[in-house]
Chains A and B, each alone.
Chain A
Amino acid sequence: MSIPNLSRLLQNDADRLVQEWLTAQLDAGTFRRDLLSEGDLRRDSQAFFTAFLQALEAGTTPTPEGPAWEEVRAVLGSLSKTRAAQGFTASEVATFVLSLKQPLFRRLFTAMSSSPEQLQEDLWTTTVVLDQLGLYTLEIYQRSREDIILRQRQELLELSTPVVKVWQGIVALPLIGTLDSERTQVVMESLLERIVETESTVAIIDITGVPTVDTLVAQHLLRAVAAARLMGAECIISGIRPQIAQTIVHLGIDLSSVTTKANFADAISLALTRSGFQVTRARPQ
């Protein structure tokens, strides 16, 4: 079995091996000096190496899955997560583990040159272990990237639906960007919650920032209007541009159940009138 061999080998000149490994990483061409200092790299490498050595000593199986490898996985996991957040690419992250191969193999080669069969077996076991660690690193890297993307998506969704209180009893929802089912859901929820919060009776949905209105978007809009109506608020859709009006007519979308206005100003004035307000100029200009 190669594990005792390997751990003995590593223990004997750990410092030089780490140094060689560091050099290999620095020379790999994928090292990002702009994102990571040499000191940090040394610290990471040392942490991994210590954990790796401990796992080799404790582990009876050469596969990095048992409880003995927990520390190694923890080190690799946190390293992978940090680097994913810093903007490293996948290969740059994987190189961290894989670059350990060369110095390791060189040592195995000199130590076991007398027995080629044992050497071959050891090389194979080491390769398998390091490859699996590399794959594990990549997996964590990918998962962290997906988490980041998911979080950003969520934040964008929340950012994109501000519901503004225009006046007492009047809220406005300026929509920007394309409406899909998921966004409509968020838009609808925040609109309804604000209606409850502000006790509004009129809601203005402004679609100046919506590039295209197809049947699906119109359907989503009508749904939001129906939901707001159930909450006791009337909806006004404003900001319909000429092209969009044409599209709506061409598509045969029936917006007759909703009040529509060409611009936001008209919508506000209508909303104020409906709520019983009257706006007059205080002094002639």
Chain B
Amino acid sequence: MDRIPILKLGDCLIVSLHVDLHDRLALTLQDDLANRVVSTGARGVLIDISGLDMVDSFIGRVLGNIATLCQVLDAETVIVGLRPAVAITLVELGVTWTHVRTALNIERGMALLQHHVSLTAPEETRDDPDDAQR
């Protein structure tokens, strides 16, 4: 069965959607991502949907759920790369993702995640120049 690949980059997981998501694939992605976040202890998740031409209300809701779910597992989630048409469609469908972070592109999304991860990292792993001197 088809699966969406989930890439790991440092503390973050990256998912890039290029094939059109059908409903079952979206649900599989939701399961896979939850498992991977727990197994890798990822602190950030980036979902790039710039390759999607079309997002219906179900996919919109599932993507929102995925983001919320990852946040519950303490992984900051950013959805990036919405095309204008997709954004308009989602708003028209009433999906506003008020609890989900969004960014224009992967670069911006990664910057957001890095910022968040560095802020919330536990004391001992934080790169603090003062610590290094001591």
Q: Which residues of A contact B (CB under 8 A)?
A: 185, 188-189, 192-193, 195-196, 199-201, 223, 226-233, 257
Contacts and interface: CB of A to CB of B under 8 A. Distances in A.
Interface of B: 80, 82-85, 87-88, 90-92, 96-98, 102-105, 108-109
- Residue in B84, B103, B108 with the greatest tally of chain A CB atoms within 10 Å: B84
Nearest to B104: A232
Contacts of B103: 232
Contacts, number: 55
A175 B85 CA distance: 21
A189 B104 contact: no
Contacts of B92: 223
B88 A192 contact: yes
Nearest to B100: A230
A193 B104 CA distance: 11
Contacts of A196: 83-84, 104
Contacts of B105: 199, 232
Given A188-B88, A192-B88, A223-B91, A230 B104 contact: no
Which 4 pairs show the lowest CB-CB distances between chains A and B?
A192-B84, A232-B103, A232-B104, A230-B87
Nearest to B112: A232
Contacts of A201: 104, 108
Q: Is the interface of A mostly helix, strand, loop or mixed?
A: helix
A232 B80 contact: yes
B96 A226 contact: yes
Given A192-B84, A195-B84, A233-B104, 19 more contacts: A185-B88, A189-B85, A192-B87, A192-B88, A193-B84, A196-B83, A196-B104, A199-B105, A223-B92, A226-B91, A227-B87, A227-B90, A229-B102, A230-B82, A231-B87, A231-B104, A232-B80, A232-B102, A232-B104
B82 A231 contact: yes
B108 A232 contact: yes
- Residue in A192, A200, A223, A227 with the greatest tally of chain B CB atoms within 10 Å: A227
Contacts of A189: 84-85, 88
23 contacts: A185-B88, A188-B88, A189-B88, A196-B83, A196-B104, A199-B105, A201-B104, A201-B108, A227-B84, A227-B87, A227-B88, A227-B90, A228-B87, A230-B90, A230-B97, A230-B102, A231-B82, A231-B84, A231-B87, A231-B104, A232-B80, A232-B103, A232-B109
